[in-house]
Chains A and B, each alone.
Chain A
C-alpha cells in the first residue's frame, strides 16, 4: 500500500519540475505557456498540502517519508521528509503565500521580455521549492540543502535586473552576508551530527539537548548566529534593505514566507536545543527585542515604502526571535503565519500602487492611491492595520498579543522586555500607517494630469483603475487572512502542543491602546509639515501653517518646558540648537540602518579589499608574494652559485700553469742570440761537460 506520506514528495516537486522545464526550455515555450506553467508550479504545492493537513488534523500528526539512506562508515545518513504539526502549518502557509505571490507576479511581470520572464518564473518556482523542502525536511542535510538553495535563488532574483549595477551589488551583498552566517549554521549542524551520529531531526534534537555544557552552548550559539544572518537581524541586517532592488514579487516572497522568515523557522525547529540553555535563550531574547525595536525605529524614518517594509520585516522577525528566546516557539510560529499573510499583502499592495511610477517606490509615489488603485489601497490599509496590531479585528493583534503576554509572564526580565516590546509596537503602528496617510495626501500634479489624459504627460505609465484578477484575487484573499486570521492564532498554538498564554487585563489594555497612539503619531508626522520635515531629517524651511502653530503650542512647547524643568533650566539657546542638530544626526543614523553598512565597510570590506590588492598588486597584475617566493629564492640561489662557479678553480690552475710555462719560455728564449760564436762557445762548453761526465763514470 502506498504511504500517504508520499504526498510530502509532491509538495516541493511541482515547482522544482517547473524550474527544470523553464530553465532548460526544451519546448521553446511561448509567453502564455510560461505563465501557465509558472502558475501551475506555484499553486500545486498548496493543493498537495491540503490533504496532508487533513491527515494531520484527523489521525496522528507524525510521519516520515524516507528519500534514501547513505552509509558513511559507522554512521547512517537517512534523508527524509517529515510531517509534524510545525512542518504542516508552516508548509501550508508557505505554499499559500507562494501561490498568491506567483499569481500576482503573472500580471506584475507581464511587460518583461520572454527570456527574462522564463528566468524569473523558473527562479521563483525554485525559490518556493527550496523553502518547502527546508520546511518539510526531516534531516539536517535536506534542511541545509533548502536553506542554501534559497540563498542562491535570492542572489539571482535580487540581481534580476542584471544591467543595473546596484541590483547586482545588492544581490552579492545578500548572498555574501547570508553565506557568512550560513557558515555558522553549517558548523553547528555538523557538530550536532558528530554528537548524535545521525542527521535525523527527531534523533538529533533530543540528542542535542543531552550534550555536555560546553558543547551545548557552542552549538546553540552557532545555530543562533545562522538564524540571525538569514533573518537579517542585527548585526547582519544590512543586506535586507539593499535587497529591495529586486522586483516587488521577489521582495514579497523573500520577506513573508521564505528566506528571511527561514531563520525564525530554523530557531523554532531547533528550539529544544536553544531553549535548554538559559544563557543562549536570554541572548536570543535580547537580540530579538533589540532588533525589533531598532527595526521599528528605523522604519519610521524611511522615505521609500519598500525600504520601510524591509525594516518592518527586520523588526517583525525580531519579535519571532524574541518569542523563541522567551521559550515559546509555538507563539513564534503563530506570528510567522500571521506575518507571512500581512507582509506579503503589504508588499503586493504597495508594489501595485507604485508600479510604473516615475517616483520609484518612494513614499510620494503612494499619494493618490485611493483614486488610482482603490482595491490595492484598501488592501494596504488592511495589511497596515494587521501590522500595527489594531485590537480584536486584526490577526496581527492576536499574535503580537501572545508574544507580549509571554513576556509579561517571564518575571522581571520579561517585564523589561515587555516594556521594550510595547514601545516597539507603538512605533510599529507609526510606520505602518505612515504610508497610508501619505497615500491620502493629494497626488503629485503630473500624475493626476496623466490620469486625466493631459497631453503633456500622456507618455507616463497609465494604468486602469481596476486591476486584473491576477492582482485583485491575491490581494483580497490576503487581506481577508490578515484581518480574520486572528481566529486561528489560538488554535495554531494549541495545534503545536502548547497553551495560548492568557494575558492579565491591565497589560492587555495597555497593549490595546498602543496602536492607536502610534496611529496618532503617524498622522502627526504626515500632516504636520514641521514634524514631517523633522522625520525626513531636514530642518523646516517652509512657513509654518496653522496646524504647525497648534502643534508647536500644544506639543513642542510643553515638551521643551518639561525638558527645561528636568534639566533645572540650564539649557540655553545654543544648547537647543545643538540638540536639534543631534536630533537630525540621530534621524539620519536611524534611517540608514545604524550606519552598519559603513561599519562593515570599514571592518570587513576595506581590509579584505586591501589584502587582496596587496596580494595582487594594484593594477590587476599578479604579485602573489608567496608563490613567487620559492621562484625568486631558487633564482637567487642559482645566481649566487653560478657566479661563484664562473671563477672555475680548475680553470685557474691550468691557466696559472700556462702562465708559468710562458715565463719559462721567455727565459729560455734568452739563449737564442743568433751569433755563431755564442753557439760555438755553447757547443764547446757542452762537449767539455760531456767529457767531464764520461770521465767521472770511469772512476770506480
Chain B
C-alpha cells in the first residue's frame, strides 16, 4: 500500500528491459538474453515479495497516479489474487520464452524486446483498473506479438500475422467504443472502473456496452466462431510466440471477461451469460473435434486451446462459486500445460524439421526424456487428476451441475473427446517408429529447465490446490452473478 511503486515496476521493468535488450547485443554475446532474463527475474522477485505484504482486504496493492485530471485521466493499478496469479504466469512464461528462443540469432535484440514488450503490455492489462489505460494496454499487446509472428514465424507468417492483427484490432474497437461511452456519460469525466461500477446504468445500455467489451474478449479468448486467427497464428509463430500466445494473450481475454462484465454490468451480464454458456458449450466440443483431425501437431494443440478456453468461458458465465473458481484455475493450468506442449513440439520441429503427425513417432525408443516430458503434459491435456487442469475442469463441471445439467454433460463429453485427441497426439509422436527421429538428440539441459518448471507448476497446483484457490477467492467472490438458464 501507499506509495510503493511495485505494480508500476511490474510493467515498466519489462518495458525498459526490452529497450535495453534492443541495444544489449553490443555488450557481449547473448547479453540481450541475459538482460531480458534479469528484467523478468527482477520483476518476478518484486511480485513475489509483494505477496507477503499486508494488503487491503482483497487487494494486495493499489496504486493511483493522476495523469491529466481535467480529462479525467488517471492510472489506477490494482492487484488481487487473480491478477497476481496471472502475473506469475506472465513473468514465468516470459522467462521460458526467452530461454526457448536462445538459439535464434536473427535480430535477436528485437526478438527479446518483443517478448518483453508482450509481457509488459499483458501485465498492464492484468493490473489496470482505469478503463482507458486498460484499453491502451489491450491494443498495445498486439504490436509486439504481431512482430513476433511476422518476423520470426514459419511458413505463411505474414498472412497469419495479419489475420491475427485484423481480428483482434477490429474486435478491440468494440471495447474502445464502450470505454469512451462509459467515460463520457458520467457526471464527471472518469474512466475509473471502481467509480463506473457504482453507477446505475440502464439495462439495455448495459447489454450494448457489454457486447462491445465481449467482442474484444471473446475474440482474444477465442471462442468459436471467432477463433479462426488462433490456429494460423499458433502454427506460424515461433515457439516463443506460441508460448506467449497460449499462455498470455488468451488469458487476457479470459481475465477481462472474468473481471469487468460482472463488475461493471452485473444485470447485463446476467442477461447475456446464457448465450456465453451456449457459445462455450459449442466451442468445447467443436474445438475438441477439430483437434482430433489435425495433422499438424501445433495446430492440434491450438485447437485444444480453443476447447479449453471455451470451458473457461462456460465457467465464467456460470456465475456460481465453483464454476468461477474452476475457470480461474483452468486459466492458470492451461497456460502452463499448453505452453509446455508448444515448447516440446517446437523443440521437436527444430530437430526434425516437421510437425506433421504422419511423419513423427518413435520418441519412446529414441528419446526417452522427450517421451517422459510428453507423457506429463499429455496427462495434463486430458485432465488427469493430480494436474491443475483436472482441478479446473472438475470445478467447472461441478458449477455447471448447479447451473444446468446439460452444460455439465457437454463439458464431460468434451473431457472424453480430450482423451481421443491426446492419445492420438501421443501415439503419433511418442509411440511407433519414424525415420526422422532415429538419430534424435534428446532434450538438452536448457530445454529441460523450462519443462521441469512447467511440470512442477502443473502438478503443484494440482496436488496443493489451496495455493491457487486461496489466491483466487476474492476475485471469485466479486464475480458471482446470479445467472438463470431457461
Residues of A near any B CB (own CB < 8 A): 23, 68, 70-73, 115, 119, 141, 144-145, 148-149, 152, 155-156, 159, 162-163, 165, 168, 171-172, 175-176, 179-180, 183, 186-187, 190-191, 193-194, 608, 611-613, 615-616, 620, 622, 624, 626-631
CA distance A656 to B398 in the complex (A): 70
On whether the beta carbons of B365 and A163 are closer than 8 Å, the reply is yes
Alpha-carbon separation in the docked complex, A172 to B398 (Å): 27
Does B364 interact with chain A (Cβ within 8 Å)? yes
Q: Is the CB of B372 within 8 A of A23?
A: yes
A611 to B224, CA, bound (A): 17
Task: Report Cα–Cα, A141/B227, bound state, in Å.
Answer: 34
The one of A115, A180, A183 that contacts B368, using a Cβ cutoff of 8 Å: A115
Any A CB within 8 A of the CB of B225: yes
Interface string of B374-416 (1 = CB under 8 A from A): 0100010010111000100010011001100000110011011
Decide if B347 is an interface residue (CB 8 Å cutoff).
no
A190 / chain B contacts, CB cutoff of 8 Å:
394, 397-398, 401, 408
Instruction: Give which listed residue, A70, A148, A171, contacts B385 with CB less than 8 A.
Output: A148
CB-CB < 8 A to B358: which residues of A?
620
Residues of B within 8 A of A149 (CB): 384-386
**Minimum CB–CB distance for B409 against chain A, Å:** 7
- Do B321 and A183 touch (CB < 8 A)? no
- Do A631 and B228 have beta carbons less than 8 Å apart? yes
In Å, the complex CA distance between A280 and B90 comes to 50
A666 → chain B closest CB, angstroms: 50
Known interface pairs A179-B416, A183-B415, A611-B289; A145-B385 also in contact (CB < 8 Å): yes
B432 interface contact, C-beta 8 A: yes
Docked-complex contact B394 and A165, CB < 8 angstroms: no
15 more contacts with CB within 8 A, not counting A163-B431, A176-B419, are A68-B466, A72-B322, A115-B368, A144-B385, A145-B386, A148-B384, A172-B423, A175-B423, A176-B416, A180-B416, A193-B398, A616-B290, A622-B299, A627-B225, A627-B231
16 A-B Cβ contacts within 8 A? A70-B465, A176-B419, A179-B382, A183-B412, A183-B415, A186-B394, A186-B412, A187-B412, A190-B394, A190-B397, A612-B293, A615-B290, A616-B294, A630-B226, A630-B228, A631-B228
B427: Cβ under 8 A from any A Cβ = yes
For residue B398, which residues in chain A have a CB less than 8 angstroms away from its CB? 190, 193-194
Within 8 Å of chain A (Cβ to Cβ): is B37? no
Chain B min CB distance to A365 (Å): 27
State whether A72 and B325 are in contact (beta carbons under 8 Å apart), knowing that A162-B431, A624-B290, A629-B225 are contacts in the complex: yes
Indicate whether B99 reaches chain A with its CB closer than 8 angstroms: no
Task: Decide: B289 and A620 in contact? CB cutoff 8 A.
Answer: no
Contacts of A615 in B (CB 8 A): 286, 289-290, 293
In B437-468, the 8 Å CB interface with A consists of: 464-466
Over the window 356-379 of chain B, the binary record of Cβ atoms lying under 8 Å from chain A Cβ atoms (1 yes, 0 no) is: 001000101100100010010001
Q: Is B92 an interface residue (CB 8 A)?
A: no
Asked if B419 and A186 make an inter-chain contact with CB atoms under 8 angstroms apart, the answer reads no
Query: With A186-B397, A622-B290 in contact, is A168–B431 under 8 Å at CB?
Result: yes
Which listed residue (A187, A193, A612) contacts B292, Cβ 8 A? A612
Q: Is B385 touching A163 in the complex (CB atoms < 8 A)?
A: no
Contact B293 A70 (CB under 8 A): no
Which residues of chain A are near B390, meaning CB under 8 Å? 148
Closest approach, in angstroms, between the C-beta of B295 and any C-beta of chain A? 4
- Cα–Cα distance between A162 and B430 once the two chains are bound (Å): 8
Cross-interface CB contact of A627 among B224, B415, B416, B473, cutoff 8 Å: B224
Q: Please measure, in the bound complex, the distance between the C-alpha atom of A626 and the C-alpha atom of B231, giving whole angstroms.
A: 13
Q: A152-B384, A187-B412 are in contact. Are A162 and B364 (CB under 8 A)?
A: yes
CA separation between A68 and B226, bound complex, in Å?
42
Q: Which residue of A lies closest to B170 (CB)?
A: A634
B238 to A: closest C-beta gap in Å: 21
Q: Are B290 and A70 in contact (CB under 8 A)?
A: no
Whose C-beta in chain A lies nearest to the C-beta of B321? A73
For A187, the chain B residues whose CB sits under 8 A away are: 397, 401, 408-409, 412
A628, B386: Cβ atoms closer than 8 Å? no
A628 touches B228 (CB 8 A): yes
B431 close to A70 (CB less than 8 A): no
Cα A310 to Cα B394 with chains together (Å)? 33
Binding site for A on B (CB under 8 A): 224-228, 231, 286, 289-290, 292-295, 299, 321-322, 325, 358, 362, 364-365, 368, 372, 375, 379, 382, 384-386, 390, 394, 397-398, 401-402, 408-409, 412-413, 415-416, 419-420, 423-424, 427, 430-433, 464-466, 469-470, 473
Shortest CB distance A88–B (Å): 24
Q: Which of A141, A183, A622, A627 has the most B CB atoms < 10 Å from its CB?
A: A627
* A contact residues around B413 at 8 Å (CB): 183
A152 and B379 alpha carbons, distance in the complex (Å): 8
Q: Which residue of A lies closest to B292 (CB)?
A: A612
Chain B residues, CB < 8 A from A608: 292, 420
Closest to A143 in B: B385
List of B residues within 8 angstroms of A165 by Cβ = 432
Give min CB distance, B374 to chain A, whole Å: 12
The verdict on A155 contacting B423 (CB below 8 Å), with A115-B368, A187-B409 known, is yes
Residues of A within 8 A of B473 (CB): 73
- Residue on A with the closest CB to B395? A72
Contacts of A156 in B (CB 8 A): 375
Residues of B within 8 Å of A612, CB to CB, are: 289-290, 292-293
* B469: contacting residue among A70, A141, A144, A168, CB under 8 A: A70
Bound: A563/B473 CA distance, A: 75
Contact of A613 with B293 in the complex, beta carbons under 8 Å: yes
A612 to B289, CA, bound (A): 6
Residue A163 contacts which of B293, B375, B423, B433 (CB distance < 8 angstroms)? B433
* Interface core residue of A72, A149, A175, A180 (most chain B CB under 10 Å): A72
Nearest residue (CB) in B for A194 is: B401
Closest Cβ neighbor of B166 among chain A residues:
A634
Let me know if A70 and B466 touch, CB within 8 A: yes
In the complex, A616 Cα to B294 Cα: how many Å? 7
List residues of chain A with CB within 8 A of the CB of B432: 162-163, 165, 168
Which residues from A are CB-within-8-Å of B394? 186, 190
Q: Is the CB of B293 within 8 A of A616?
A: yes
Contacts of B289 in A (CB 8 A): 611-612, 615
Question: Please, which residue of chain B has its CB at the minimum distance from the CB of A161?
Answer: B431
Q: How far is the CA of A72 from the CA of B320 in the complex (A)?
A: 12
B231 with A624: CB separation less than 8 A: yes
Q: Which residues of B contact A631 (CB under 8 A)?
A: 228
- By a CB distance below 8 angstroms, the chain A residues around B465 are 70
- Residue A72 contacts which of B321, B386, B408, B464 (CB distance < 8 angstroms)? B321
| Known A70-B466, A115-B368: A179·B419 in contact at CB below 8 Å | yes
A532 to B325, CA, bound (A): 62
Contacts of A628 in B (CB 8 A): 228
Residues in chain B near residue A630, CB distance under 8 A: 225-226, 228
- Kindly report which residue of chain A lies nearest to residue B283, judged by CB atoms: A626
**Distance in angstroms between the alpha carbons of A144 and B384 in the assembled complex:** 10
Chain B residue contacts of A627, Cβ below 8 A:
224-225, 227-228, 231
CB pair B321–A168 under 8 Å, yes or no, is: no
* Most chain A beta-carbon contacts within 10 A, residue among B228, B379, B385, B433: B385
Which residues of B sit under 8 angstroms from A72, Cβ to Cβ?
Answer: 321-322, 325, 469
CA distance A168 to B424 in the complex (A): 10
Cα distance A156–B430 when bound, in Å? 11
Q: Are B466 and A71 in contact (CB under 8 A)?
A: yes
CB-CB under 8 A from B412, the residues of chain A are 183, 186-187
Point out the residues of chain A lying under 8 angstroms from B415, CB to CB.
Answer: 179, 183, 186
In the complex, chain A residues whose CB is within 8 Å of the CB of B231: 622, 624, 627
Question: From residue A346, how far is it (CB to closest CB) to chain B in Å?
Answer: 29
Whether the Cβ atoms of A626 and B423 lie closer than 8 Å is: no
Query: A525 CA to B382 CA in the complex, in Å?
Result: 47
Contact A162 B365 (CB under 8 A): yes
The minimal Cβ–Cβ distance linking A254 to chain B, given in whole angstroms, is 18
